[in-house]
Every structure is written in C-alpha cells, then in structure tokens.
Amino acid sequence: MIREFENTDVNDVVDLAESHCRENGTGFGSFDEGELIKLIRQIKISDDFHGLVYTEAGRVWGYAACQIQWNPWNRYREGILLYFYIHPSKRNGFISKSLFQECEQWFEQQDCDYFQAGALAFNESYQVDEHNQEFLDQADGFFSRMMTPAGSYYVKGLK
C-alpha cells in the first residue's frame, strides 16, 4: 500500500535509509540519524514537501520525498523528487511505478509545470565504482522509462 508518511513510520524510514546508503556506496555510506529525523520533520510539516511510503505487512519498505519550488531561471513551478527508494527485496516494476505515479499526482495537484529526478552515487574517493554503477544503472533504467533524460550530475570532493 502506498500512503502519506506518518509519524509512526520514522523508525522504519531510518532503517530503510541505512539500506539506501549502503546500496548507494561508501560515498553515501553513513548518515547522521539526527539530521535525517530533522529532514523527516521538515518534510512532514512544510507545504513545499511531501513524503510517501510503501508499506507491506505493517512495515515500510519504500519511500519518496518530494519538494516544490519556483525555478527563478525559467519561472516555472518545478517539482523535485528528492529521495526515491524501495528495498531490494521488495523492488519490482509495479511497486516502483506505483510510488512514482503517486509522486507525479502530488506534483500535478501542486500545479507544478514539470518535475525532475536523478540518481547520485559515489565511493569515498568521489568516484563511481562497480557497486555504485549497478545502483546508478538501475536508477537510470527506471527513470529513463518514466521521464525524459535532460542532463547529468557531477561530483567533486572538497575534503
């Protein structure tokens, strides 16, 4: 079932975020749980954010975090799919597409002109390795079926 995020989902989302980080690679391999909870709180209370979860048997197995903003470069109201993740044991085309479509519907309800999504993963050297590449290939395959490719991400380490 896909539904709006509820406060009782926090522990499951934290556990799932750990899985998300491990799958992304060591460049994203850890996170500050306190900062994650602050982000979850912001998503929950702000009108410019929206959180969705995929649940099965009373447990959260996937999540999506959406944001809207006015883009000053093109004067469009744009949606940003900030986070999108389904645990590998539950990941399939039907669930992924259903969660994606719920995000799309919310962006439409918010009167967005378009929305964007992307995948970013790298290791501790700010390089893509085989582990990261598999994650990126899966994300790229999904998003390219659902959306139009329109750019790239780049990363440069500063520390």
Q: Where are the domains of the chain?
A: 2-146
pLDDT at 95: 96
Kindly report the CATH number that applies to the domain delimited by 2-146: 3.40.630.30
What pLDDT score was predicted for residue 29?
54
Residue 27 has pLDDT above 70, yes or no: no
Half-sphere exposure for 124 (CA within 13 Å, toward CB): 4
Assign 1 a pLDDT band (cuts: 50, 70, 90). very high
Across the chain, where does the E strand assignment appear?
A: 2-4, 49-56, 59-71, 76-86, 114-117
Residue 126: pLDDT above 90? no
Confirm if 152 and 136 have CB atoms less than 8 A apart: no
Q: Going by DSSP bridges, is the β-strand pair 76-86/114-117 parallel, antiparallel, or unpaired?
A: parallel
Q: Give the pTM.
A: 0.90
DSSP 17: H
And the tokens for 92?
């399939």
Mean pLDDT of the chain: 90
Supply the pLDDT for residue 80: 95
> Is pLDDT above 90 for 99?
yes
